[in-house]
Amino acid sequence: MKLAIKLAFRNLIGAGLRTWLNVIVLSFSFVIIIWMKGVITGWDHQAKIDMTNWQIGEGQYWHENYDPYDPFTLNDSHAPVPEILREEVRQDSMTPLLISQGTIYPQGRLQSIMIKGLDPHQKIFHLPSHKLDTTISDAIPAIIGSGMAKNLQLGISDRVMIQWRDTEGTFDASEICITDIFSVNVPAVDQGQIYIPLNELRSMLNLEDEATILTYNNVRTDRSDVTGWIHKSKEELTSSVDELIKVKTAGTSVLYAVLILLAMLAIFDTQVLSIFKRQKEIGTYIALGYTRREVVGLFTVEGTMHAVFAALLSAAYGIPFLTWQAKNGWTMPMDTSEFGMAIAQTLYPVYSAGLVAGTVLIIMTVTAIVSYWPSRKIAGMNPTEALRGRIQ
């Protein structure tokens, strides 16, 4: 094996440009696959961090009737904060959110929205809730996301009519004043959402002390359902991201397969050409004391060594490139706010040792198989014909 490696090294170096063309193509596969996988992992990280910071904290209690996909459940999805959780609310490690359906009329147009009552002093979400801690004599202070503001053409200090229905079923209306517009990568926090002070919404709905969702930021393993409230762990709440990442990973795997296929095609071609062109050399190896199986081994090692060289070349230019990307991120050329998923405009790739080792291992294995496949032909060659360079 040591000798095969030594000879394969000499042969590849001696082959010059032919070797380097294959190595360059293969090294692109290494770097692009690691980079793309890194982007997806980075996206997964970013999406979960953003969801934690802006939407779900470290976990939530949902009112038992609450179904985020069925707005009709909202009328019955509220109850007083349970006694057992009140201490956490008092200590600011838990914050209540009351949710109701409503309608606003920007520039006379009708727009259905979710009205979310948020404690202006909460410390759990990155939402600028302190901007709700203001008194406006003839309007309700409200904050909205930049995507919503853009869609509705609303700016800070703009006023807009809001209509809602209280628990008795009575429609009521007032005016809100936009006190702040925040930028966020989580669409569920932005699109169609208006945040107003919690107590204001409670009084609008006649639901004193009630909430729809309770979000906490202290990690405890002993949490479970409370009467009337269902506990949702962070893992459950981010499972949609995991599903999305799984789908995206499956989609990009096709691209990886194409990249590897192109590189492998180059290696396969080289191997076939080598065996075709190097008949005399194969005969000489046998005459000098190699068995045919050892020559097959030599050619397989030679093919596989392309992947070793490619890994080294990839390290030479890939490490600086991937490090630069991890630091500066990849800014997507189109606006991501309308993608409908938690995705930042700039994604920061995250590379793990497993990702790099896995990619290298897969490419090495596939290269070894592709190198071995055409080399098996050597095992059936007649050495005397090979010595004369006769095509077999």
Partner 1 sequence: MENSSIIKIENLVKKFPMGKGEFTALSGIGLTLSQGEFAGLIGPSGSGKTTLLNIIGSLDVPTSGLVKVLGQSISELNAKESARLRKENLGFIFQSYNLLAVHTVYENVEFPLLLLGLSSGERKKMVMDALEWVGLTDKIRSKPPQLSGGECQRVAVARAMVKKPSIVLADEPTANLDAANSHNILKTMEELNRELKTSFLFATHDEKVINYLHRKIFLLDGRIDKDEVVSN
- Tell me the residue length of the chain: 392
Does residue number 377 form part of the binding site for partner 1 (CB under 8 A)? no
Does residue number 303 form part of the binding site for partner 1 (CB under 8 A)? no
Q: Which is nearer to partner 1, 287 or 361 (CB)?
A: 287
Identify the burial level of 391 via C-beta atoms within 10 angstroms of its C-beta, where 0-12 means exposed, 13-18 middle and 19 or more buried. Answer: exposed
Lookup: tokens for 4: 């095969």
Does residue number 390 form part of the binding site for partner 1 (CB under 8 A)? no
Does residue number 284 form part of the binding site for partner 1 (CB under 8 A)? yes
Closest approach of Cβ 248 to partner 1, in Å?
45
Beta strand segments in 146-284, E: 159-165, 171-182, 193-197, 210-211, 213-216, 229-233
Give the contacts of 380 (CB within 8 A, at least 6 positions apart): 392
Give the binding-site size for partner 1 (rule: CB under 8 A). 25
Q: Which is nearer to partner 1, 291 or 331 (CB)?
A: 291
Closest approach of Cβ 289 to partner 1, in Å?
3
| Cα-only R_g, the chain | 31
Does residue number 293 form part of the binding site for partner 1 (CB under 8 A)? yes
Q: Which is nearer to partner 1, 5 or 326 (CB)?
A: 5
Does residue number 158 form part of the binding site for partner 1 (CB under 8 A)? no
Beta strand segments in the chain, E: 59-63, 79-80, 94-104, 111-118, 140-145, 159-165, 171-182, 193-197, 210-211, 213-216, 229-233, 330-331, 346-347
> What is d(CA 50, CA 94) in angstroms, rounded to the nearest whole number?
18
Does residue number 23 form part of the binding site for partner 1 (CB under 8 A)? no
Does residue number 169 form part of the binding site for partner 1 (CB under 8 A)? no
Q: What are phi and psi of 166, to 5 degrees?
A: -80, -175
Does residue number 290 form part of the binding site for partner 1 (CB under 8 A)? yes
Q: Which is nearer to partner 1, 10 or 376 (CB)?
A: 10
Among 1, 250, 254, 288, binds partner 1 (CB under 8 A): 288
User: For binding to partner 1 (CB under 8 A), which residues are involved?
Assistant: 3, 6-7, 10-11, 13-15, 280-281, 283-284, 286-294, 383-384, 387, 389
